[in-house]
A and B are shown apart, each in its own frame.
Chain A
Amino acid sequence: MTIFIIQILNSLFYAAVLFLIAAGLSLIYGVMRIVNLAHGSLYALGAYVSAWVVGGAVGHAMSGALGLAGALLLLPIGAVVIAAVGALIEPTLLRPLYRRPEEYHLLITFGLLMILEDAMKLLFGGTPLSAGSIMDSMGSIPIGRLLYPTYNLVVVAIGLIAALGLWWFIYRTRFGVILRATSQDRRMAAALGLNVGRVYVQAFAIGCFMAGLGGAVVVPAQAAVLGMGVEALVLAFVVVVIGGLGSLEGALVGALIVSLVRTAGIQFFPEIELAVLYLIATAVLLIRPTGLFGRA
């Protein structure tokens, strides 16, 4: 029973991180119709930046509650940096390509993926970078006979807050109305006199912020390593294929399904864990090609 609860908590932790990444990917696709292959690398870069900032500021020996609060405040810097990177990428690299066919979007974002991966290798080297001191100093809570890291529960809470916040942002704010309108009909939005270019920068930056936030929250629990971005990208794609690209609800449900299957897979069928995920994605594609929550 204890093991079961811990497995559920673990899968919720993965779901929270995956949701952050996939929601950003989905938001960008929903508004701009661009599949951002560099999204996973932006997540990884967010993880590296956060780990580097926290490591540089407090080191590995943290002193008391003040040190912990400070470290937690520094942690989201990775997300902010990635949002800024996104605000730079959109007008310079993506904007000239909107009128071109999709292959160009894939090529440019794939190129960006390679550049980012090498840039991380250059900047941070092959050594894993962690902000584990945060996780350590937050301690653990007892679950049955075992101890469970408190920080993991914080991440689940952050994922939940992010989901609610994003939903509120998209469905309840004025900007959300503009965002949804632009995503439905760009020409018409421009005909009403809306500044579509500005909406695109904002949407892309928010999507990148979500990826960076995913990296920032994961790095106290798991060190940033080379290749984590590509792995995350693949899983995020499985999430949006299941949930439906461009749908917020889809990203949430997809993230829950993928992490549950993954956690169960690691426990019960580790040899074919990823294969099962792809099978599920394939089944969804065959039965409901737009995903569970996607629209044609």
Chain B
Amino acid sequence: MSLLETIHLKKYFGDTHAVDDVSLVIKEGELVSLVGPNGAGKTSFCNVVSAYYTADSGTILFKGRDVTRDSVTARVKAGIARSFQLVNLFDDLTAFDNVALAIFSREGKTRSMAALARRDSAVTGEADAVLGQFGLAGKRNELARSLAQGERKLLDVALAYALRPKLLFLDEPTSGVSTRDKGQIMDTIAGVVRGEGITAVVVEHDMDVVFTYSDRIVVMHQGAILAKGTPDEIRTNEEVAMTLIGAAGPDAFTQRSDHARG
């Protein structure tokens, strides 16, 4: 059953075709990787679906309902959440408070001004459980700013996950961390996502990671879909190999500046 369907989705920035006529079906419960050289439109596609950009044309169906014109908040409420390429955390809050905040927001527990933050045992229990799932239980009371990069990446995903989305966009969850940490982060994320039956779309550069963890791979190039299929199908697709290998060299160098721009 399809959870998300985009039909002829377009987003242009002047002459740049960031998202160019993308028609894509994401099925419930699958982990889809979105790959492609820099500037292929992966992040733009996530931004359009999560309402950070407005689509120029086309339709976004979520659970069969047209959400193309819905606001960010409305789409979060509907069940679309995302993490960011640049880690977005509340640096001056503890890891626990970061997660608790997402839970307050989801539960609509934002009205009562005198309610004690840590006396709500349901929220406290859930926030601790989420931290535990992401291996961050020991960092509960540390400020987000003091966490290591890999931990920040996980906390970022934990925040999006605490909104209990149906569909989770993860924009480069392993960027900026060592190769050794990548596997651990992806193991954790894939474990949680599969365990809870959440549909996930992961933007990723590292093809080892992509081939290891994906159910399906979508290759984008210049805003459009170049190919889609299982890891085995993509691995043997020569056109994809040319595009990705051709871009692999400069890609490795531009990745840093890409992050700086966010």
A→B interface (CB under 8 Å): 169, 172-178, 180-181, 184-185, 188, 190-195, 198-199, 202
Contacts and interface: CB of A to CB of B under 8 A. Distances in A.
B77 A174 contact: no
B116 A173 contact: yes
B122 interface: no
B114 interface: yes
Contacts of A181: 90, 93, 97, 101
A176 B118 CA distance: 11
A173 B101 CA distance: 11
B163 interface: yes
B185 to A, nearest CB: 21
Interface of B: 72-73, 76-77, 82, 88, 90-93, 97, 100-102, 104-106, 109-110, 112-118, 120, 159, 163
Contact of B163 (A172, A175, A193, A199): A193
Contacts of B102: 192
Contacts of A198: 110
Given A178-B110, A194-B110, A173 B100 contact: no
A263 B116 CA distance: 39
Contacts of B97: 177, 180-181
14 contacts: A173-B113, A173-B117, A174-B112, A174-B117, A175-B110, A177-B97, A177-B117, A180-B97, A181-B90, A181-B93, A181-B101, A192-B105, A193-B105, A194-B105
Contacts, number: 77
Given A198-B110, A202-B113, 7 more contacts: A173-B113, A175-B114, A177-B101, A177-B117, A191-B72, A192-B101, A194-B110
A181 B89 CA distance: 9
The 9 closest A-B pairs by CB, nearest first: A193-B76, A175-B113, A192-B105, A174-B117, A193-B105, A174-B115, A181-B90, A184-B90, A193-B73
A184 B93 contact: yes
B71 to A, nearest CB: 9
Contacts of A185: 88, 90
A124 B173 CA distance: 62
Given A181-B101, A191-B72, A193-B76, A176 B117 contact: yes
B92 A180 contact: yes
B106 A184 contact: no
Given A174-B117, A180-B92, A192 B159 contact: yes
B93 A174 contact: no
A271 B100 CA distance: 54
Nearest to A185: B90
A185 B145 CA distance: 14
Contacts of B159: 192
A198 B110 CA distance: 9
Nearest to A181: B90
A20 B92 CA distance: 24
Contact of A195 (B110, B112, B117, B118): B110
Nearest to B115: A174
A177 B88 contact: no
Contact of A180 (B90, B116, B120, B163): B90
B159 to A, nearest CB: 7
Given A177-B104, A181-B93, A181-B101, A193 B117 contact: no
A190 B109 contact: no
B93 A177 contact: yes
A175 B109 CA distance: 9
Contact of A190 (B73, B90, B116): B73
Contacts of A180: 90, 92-93, 97
From A175, A190, A198, name the one whose CB has the most chain B CB atoms within 10 angstroms: A175
B88 A188 contact: yes
Contact of B112 (A175, A191, A199): A175
B76 A174 contact: no
Nearest to A194: B105
B117 A192 contact: no
Contacts of B92: 180, 184
A170 to B, nearest CB: 10
From B73, B115, B118, B159, name the one whose CB has the most chain A CB atoms within 10 angstroms: B73
A294 B188 CA distance: 37
B123 to A, nearest CB: 8
B116 A172 contact: yes
